Amino acid sequence: MVSASPHVHDGRTVAGIMKLVVLALAPATLFSFYIFGLAAVRVVGVSILSAVVFEALFQRIAGRPVRIGDWSAVLTGLLLALNLPATAPWWLVVVGAFFAIVIAKQLYGGLGYNPFNPALVGRVVLLLSFPVQMTAGWVAPSRWGMDAVTTATPLTRLREALLETGSVEGFAMTRDQVLDLVIGNRAGCLGETSVILLLIGGVFLIAKKVISWHIPVAFIASVWIFAGIAHLADPSRFVDASFHVITGGLFIGALYMATDYVTSPLAKRGMLIFGAGCGIITMVIRLFGAYPEGVSFAILLMNAATPLIDRYTKPTVFGAVKRAAAS
Amino acid sequence: MMGRFFGGVHPDYNKDLSRGKPIETMPVPGRLVVYLSQNLGAPSKAVVKKGDAVLKGQVIAESGGFVSTPVHAPVSGVVAAIDTFPHPVGTDLPAIVIEPDGNDRWADGCDVERDVDALSSAEIRDLVHDGGLVGMGGATFPTHVKLSPPPEKPIDVLVLNGAECEPYLSADHRMMVEHAEEILDGAALFARVIEVGRVIVGIEKNKPDAIAAMRERAAGREGFEVAALDVVYPQGAEKQLIFAVTGRRVPAGGLPMDVGVLVQNVATCRAAREAVRFNRPLIERVLTVTGRAIAEPKNLLVRVGTPFEDIVAFCGGMSGETGKIISGGPMMGVSQYSLAAAVTKGTSGIVLLRRDEVAQFVSDACIRCGRCVEACPMRLDPSTLSILVERMRFDDAGETGVNDCMECGCCAYVCPSRRPLVQHFRRAKAELRAKARKAG
Ligand code: SF4
Ligand code: SF4
């Protein structure tokens, strides 16, 4: 066989990488099945299935090679599902998958060419178009029973309290409450509840060198610092920083959405800037914006900034600095 | 000071197949194909014709210019043909075919010891040229040219490249274990020509016996030292090697002499000793024949011009189904259509991979995973560069540094989308060269 060098390869494939991410998300996904029951199973199933079907159909129609074997549609479907409430009706999920795969990914040219994270586009389109279905149906964890009581997510409750009383007093958390939030015993999207399981998966991905620490650490640290400064400035209006770190979609966003290769910077320095930008925008939205949660919007906005960041954080060619200095 | 360079990869080294095998001398084959193109730069010009009798060491082709070297008959015999033959680079190129007469007789004046101490710098340099010396690590850059730096670029360090970072290959490794003294003798000659007091041999740590052998022999020589280097590909690339042993950074687009360094491969050093001291021109070399598709991996001393097929036969033939034959190492070597090519002065190895080791992959769009950016030792951005090439934006690729790409293959080695990155960059460089030529 004749081909160009190199003639050996480290064996990592796109499908392999996608599968590792799916694997990393498995604990959090299974946990969502445990706390939200069959409703969660259904959302995940419908989402993955429709994402894969849309991808195959589109590629077929567009005359492109059908590449569902690369697992990228599976991952998008899973991420979308994990960003939806367990009560999301099936058609909502399908619409989300359509926007994610067809509009946000394939119309731009498919894997690698999409400027925005497809799953997040799906989620945000649903959030803007169907706010009632997307946010009114939060269920408290119910352990397989579907007689769940509708409740608000911690961030929504925080916002309501602030709007009603102008103060966040009463939001100082007890140890048990913190523990509940970390373990995931709370209302929220399927995948945003268990901080600890998301973290385990994230550490696994970093250890496997699928993602690097730069984006998640910059993201979470900047949320923490921003929230901390706000809290110090006015403790009656702004809650403790750790509340912001462990609530909402911060962990799933920072570890699994913001680190999407296609839509984030290439170089490490760019990743730090990108992560920090995500964190700051998240906090601006959470503290001053119209939505209780800002992670999705923040990542999408930073996706738009990625080409710019790339341009300014290019690695310097070996030896180039010296030449510049000499001439 | 000893810094590890940026980027690089850790391919499976697979050196165990051959590194324990002492260098074996292969008998002269029945027919030798000696290409006129044995070096980077102008090919040499044949000075014999069909039917001529030649003696071993006799010049059969002269330098085709300053950046060129003469070619010598590797054996005594008769010129059977002058024609084009498949060259390991992948195209057919002119070659002189010699049929040995069985006597293996040296030409007059060859194989005679000379008093090297009496030689001037210029004389040594001329002997290096006349001996047909080129970089034997694979680049085949004429050695005498490297030994003629312009006066405004003083050189103060000679670096011997014993890194041999390509997977599978072990020829230099064996050479250092078995011929340390001769390598250092040759290096001392180079050091004299360019008047440097410091000689550093860089060897990757995965060759402890070579490090020990070279250290032992270097101990008695003033200014000589041996540096044990990290095992990371491409440690043997000139700029990376220089950085690893001296901490100096060769400027982008620049040459080693810009930072006062001359790099020579260890095999070239030994060949220099042969040529200068014994008047034996470069007509043979050590190479590694290895891979899981060869019956018996070996390190062989073969005559230049030995056809690959004879070598494979000498190593017991192929075992199982061969998927790929590579001239050189698997990272930068050239895959061959057949075993029709013959050994050149730059052939460092022949690697035969089994069919199941060379699964063909479809390449896909870049997923911007950034693995190539991390792997590139030249700190380029292969992802962006390859997209520019795909869009035929060659000028932009040039501005983004494609000419600094040394085609080491690290980027393609790690790319999960299996993008043909190195091909892209070769193409861009060729387009830019063509354009520069047109512009005059
Ligand atoms: S082949 Fe070129 S671009 Fe790729 S890693 Fe090597 S130097 Fe960098
Ligand atoms: S390694 Fe391949 S897929 Fe990843 S950024 Fe580089 S070119 Fe793109």
Q: Are A25 and A201 in contact (CB under 8 A)?
A: yes
What's the confidence (pLDDT) of residue A139? 58
**Closest residue of A to B399, CA-based?**
A317
What's the confidence (pLDDT) of residue A170? 61
Q: Cα distance from B249 to chain A (closest Cα, Å)?
A: 5
In the structure, which protein residues have their CB atom closer than 6 angstroms to any atom of ligand 1? B 375-376, 378, 380, 382, 405-411, 421-422, 425
Tell me, what's the ipTM? 0.86
| Residue positions counted in chain A | 327
Instruction: For residue range A159-186, list pLDDT tens digits in order.
Output: 666 666 666 666 666 666 666 666 666 6
Instruction: For residue range B44-83, list pLDDT tens digits in order.
Output: 999 999 999 999 999 999 998 889 999 999 999 999 999 9
Q: Count how many pairs of residues, chain A against chain B, have C-beta atoms within 8 Å.
A: 153
Residues 6+ apart with CB under 8 A from B260: B153, B154, B155, B156, B157, B248
Q: Cα distance from B350 to chain A (closest Cα, Å)?
A: 13
The letter for the amino acid at A241 is A
In this structure, which residue's CA is closest to atom 3 in ligand 2?
B366
Question: CA-to-CA distance for B279 and B271, rounded, in angstroms?
Answer: 10
Instruction: For residue range B261-277, list pLDDT tens digits in order.
Output: 999 999 999 999 999 99
* Torsion (CA) A75, A77, A83, A89 in degrees, nearest 10: -160
Q: Does residue B6 sit at the A interface (CB-CB below 8 Å)?
A: yes
Interface test with B, best of A1, A7, A310 (most B CBs within 10 A): A7
In the structure, which protein residues have their CB atom closer than 6 angstroms to any atom of ligand 2? B 366-372, 382-383, 386, 414-417, 419
Q: Which of B57, B35, B48 is nearest to B78 (CA)?
A: B48
Question: CA-to-CA distance for A107 and B403, rounded, in angstroms?
Answer: 34
Range name among A6-10, A168-172, B5-9, B150-154 with the lowest pLDDT average: A168-172
Instruction: For residue range B293-341, list pLDDT tens digits in order.
Output: 999 999 999 999 999 999 999 999 998 888 899 999 999 999 998 899 9
Token reading at A132: 């009632």
Residues in chain B within 8 Å Cβ distance of A8? 11-12, 167, 330-331, 413
**Where does chain A have alpha helices with state H?**
14-36, 38-61, 72-82, 90-98, 118-129, 131-135, 154-165, 175-183, 195-207, 214-233, 241-246, 250-252, 268-288, 295-312, 320-326
Best residue among B410, B413, B414, B418 to mutate for probing ligand 1, ranked by most atoms within 8 Å of CB: B410
Give, for B210, the enclosing helix (H) or strand (E): helix B208-218
Residues in chain B within 8 Å Cβ distance of A316? 379
Pairing of strands B298-303, B261-265: unpaired
User: What is the arithmetic mean of pLDDT over A60-76?
Assistant: 93
Q: Are B208 and B20 in contact (CB under 8 A)?
A: no
Interface test with B, best of A5, A14, A114, A261 (most B CBs within 10 A): A5
Question: CA-to-CA distance for B364 and B419, rounded, in angstroms?
Answer: 6
What's the confidence (pLDDT) of residue A172? 60
What's the confidence (pLDDT) of residue A325? 36
Say how many Å lie between the CA of residue B365 and the centre of ligand 1: 18
Interface test with A, best of B233, B369, B371, B386 (most A CBs within 10 A): B369
Chain position carrying tokens 């007469």: B101
What's the confidence (pLDDT) of residue B111? 93
The band of A192, judged by pLDDT with boundaries at 50, 70 and 90, is confident
Say how many Å lie between the CA of residue B382 and the centre of ligand 2: 7
* Torsion (CA) A240, A245, A248, A254 in degrees, nearest 10: 160
Say how many Å lie between the CA of residue B419 and the centre of ligand 2: 7
Q: Which of A278, A201, A208 is nearest to A25 (CA)?
A: A201
If phi > 0 it is left, if psi is from -120 to 50 it is alpha, else beta; for residue A300 that is alpha
- B154 to each of A29, B1, B151, B239, B255, how far by Cα in Å? 65, 21, 6, 17, 13
Residues 6+ apart with CB under 8 A from B151: none
pLDDT for residue A48 is more than 90: yes
Say how many Å lie between the CA of residue B148 and the centre of ligand 1: 29
Question: CA-to-CA distance for A150 and A152, rounded, in angstroms?
Answer: 7
What's the confidence (pLDDT) of residue A257? 95
Q: Are B246 and B234 in contact (CB under 8 A)?
A: no
pLDDT for residue A104 is more than 90: yes
Instruction: For residue range B349-402, list pLDDT tens digits in order.
Output: 999 999 888 877 788 899 999 999 999 999 999 999 999 999 999 999 998 899
What's the confidence (pLDDT) of residue B245? 94
SS3 state at B80:
strand
CA atoms A256, A260, A265, A267: torsion sign: positive
Selecting from B5, B253, B422 the residue whose C-beta is nearest the C-beta of A6 gives B422
Instruction: For residue range B158-194, list pLDDT tens digits in order.
Output: 999 999 999 999 999 999 999 999 999 999 999 999 9
Q: Which of B412, B358, B361, B81 is nearest to B234 (CA)?
A: B412
User: What is the arithmetic mean of pLDDT over B202-226?
Assistant: 95
Q: Show which of residues 117-176 on chain B sit within 8 Å of chain A, judged by CB atoms.
A: 167
Cβ-defined contact of B381 to A266 (cutoff 8 Å): yes
User: What is the arithmetic mean of pLDDT over B431-436?
Assistant: 90
**Closest residue of A to B414, CA-based?**
A10
Q: Is the peptide bond before B234 cis (omega within 30 degrees of 0)?
A: yes
pLDDT for residue A151 is more than 70: no
Residues in chain A within 8 Å Cβ distance of B380? 315, 317
What's the confidence (pLDDT) of residue A144? 43
What's the confidence (pLDDT) of residue A146? 43
Say how many Å lie between the CA of residue A128 and the centre of ligand 1: 45
Question: CA-to-CA distance for A194 and A247, rounded, in angstroms?
Answer: 9
Look at the pTM and tell me if it is higher than 0.95: no
Give, for B59, the enclosing helix (H) or strand (E): strand B59-62
Phi, psi of B352 (to 5 degrees): -110, 115
Say how many Å lie between the CA of residue A322 and the centre of ligand 1: 20
| Residue positions counted in chain B | 440
Question: CA-to-CA distance for B436 and B423, rounded, in angstroms?
Answer: 20
Selecting from A2, A112, A262 the residue whose C-beta is nearest the C-beta of B335 gives A2
Residues of A with CB under 8 A from a CB of B: 1-10, 12-14, 16-17, 65, 67, 70, 109-113, 261-268, 310, 314-323, 326
What's the confidence (pLDDT) of residue A136? 56
Range name among A237-241, B14-18, B118-122 with the lowest pLDDT average: A237-241
Residue B129 CB neighbour total at 10 angstroms: 21
Q: Are A292 and A156 in contact (CB under 8 A)?
A: yes
